[in-house]
Amino acid sequence: MNESIVEIDVHNMSLYQAKIAIDSKLRRSKGAYRLRVIHGYHGGTVLRDAIRRDYARHPQVKRIELGLNMGETDLVLREW
């Protein structure tokens, strides 16, 4: 993929399914500098909290950025 911002929607997924999907997207996101994870927040914060906690320590993620939309989390990626 050559887009600079890649999006993935993990609404209605379990935490396990969401992590598998995000990990897969990270592997295929060559050339991207940002992965926008759309997790929602009206159904609870389990996905949001786990994504922000677990991917803050991921080797491919430089930092986590929070936007104005509480249902999204941006993973700013390292250059490889």
What integer pLDDT is reported at residue 1 of this predicted model?
Answer: 42
Q: Report the DSSP pairing between strands 72-77 and 61-66.
A: antiparallel
With a cut of 70, which residues of the chain have pLDDT below it? 1-3, 80
What integer pLDDT is reported at residue 67 of this predicted model?
Answer: 82
- Environment class of 39 (CB within 10 Å of its CB; exposed 0-12, middle 13-18, buried 19+): buried
Q: Which fold has domain 5-77?
A: Ribosomal Protein S8; Chain: A, domain 1 (3.30.1370)
What integer pLDDT is reported at residue 3 of this predicted model?
Answer: 62
Measured CA to CA, the distance from residue 27 to residue 42 in angstroms comes to 29
Question: pLDDT of 55-67, one tens digit each?
Answer: 999 999 999 999 8
Domain layout of the chain by residue ranges? 5-77
